[in-house]
Structure 1
Amino acid sequence: MFGAAATGFATGFSLILAIGAQNAFVLRQGLIRAHVFWLCLLCAVSDAILIVAGIAGFGAIVAVWPALPQIMTIGGALFLLAYGASRFWAAYKGDYALVLDGKSASLWVTLATAAAFTWLNPHVYLDTLGLIGAISLNFPEAGLKLAFGVGAVTSSFVFFFGLGYGARFLAPIMTSAKAWRIMDALIAVVMWILASVLLFSH
């Protein structure tokens, strides 16, 4: 049981460790300490839902609706392009008075943005529904499969809450508009690279 749980934790953690659109957004919110708990909870619970679906068997849904991955890919790429453009525009304007004061968009706008990053990202489905679902097949017994799933879900909670609340340790270097302009420009570049990968890898 412990081996299955450890495998699930290591698999889940390694898949979400890479810096992507969702992680960059959580990092940014963590830096200004705005809506961190609810944001991390949303991301972790969304991951948990997808992990459970992957272990339960998402392949059957794709078999019934084969166009679903392509639709999600296009929608996700468009969202990443739009969000990247908004970060470039923010960096261009350089008006970070509210950010430096710790101000953020409302809770619901923040959660809606995070939900879009999560549910419109085809790579999330590949990782959770595809890879984790496939690896779970190595644990055919119900108890071991459950332990694997618990391990994978736990890794998401540990990662997102660690990222959201750990970001505050970077706060001392994010005390100027110039630093935030660089941060937003880098986030915009990441968003557009991810969008390009989605559009041109299919």
Structure 2
Amino acid sequence: MDPSMSSPHSYFPVTHSPQVGVLPEVASLSSEELEDLLNCDDKLTEFVAALPQVTALNKQCDQLIIQNEALAKANLERSGDYERTRDAIIQKLEEFTSLRTSFEELTQMQLKASEKLAPASIQESLLISSIQSEEESEKIAEDFLQKHIDVESFLGSYLEKRIETHLRKFKGERLGAQLRELHKAGF
């Protein structure tokens, strides 16, 4: 087995250096210089600040600060656009909500109108109005029998109401027959 190998399964040689993990800058200092650094905080701070790794980190921090400032400025410049866009979206949302409410109301009105104008509803309305016309003609006849109206007024209004009653009844029955035929045909 190779003595530079730490174990039979290791592929990396182990270096036995007394300065492992020591910065080359520190290794090049004499004992007196090291003692001086340990005794004087200002010199130690200067020494650490002059290290290439610290200098590189400081430059990187400065670059990051510049980038952050640029991003902050760009964000501030865009904040106006953001506010305008947000306000426009809020306005559009309010307009949409209003239009949706209006649409729902109109849909309900349309459904009611559709129900009212459905052939079955029309037939029912015709039959109800024929019953009402018949009741009105009976009231006219009663008024005549109780001598509240004269013969000419009675004949004119009574005949008119009876014709109206029969026409409505006829139209309702005719519409009902047509609806039954359509229903038999599958419509």
Q: TM class, shorter-chain normalised? A: under 0.3
TM-score for the superposition, normalised by structure 2: 0.20
TM-score scaled by length of structure 1: 0.19
**Comparing both chains, which one has the higher relative contact order based on Cα–Cα distances under 8 Å and sequence gaps of 6 or more?**
1
Larger Rg: 1 or 2?
Answer: 2
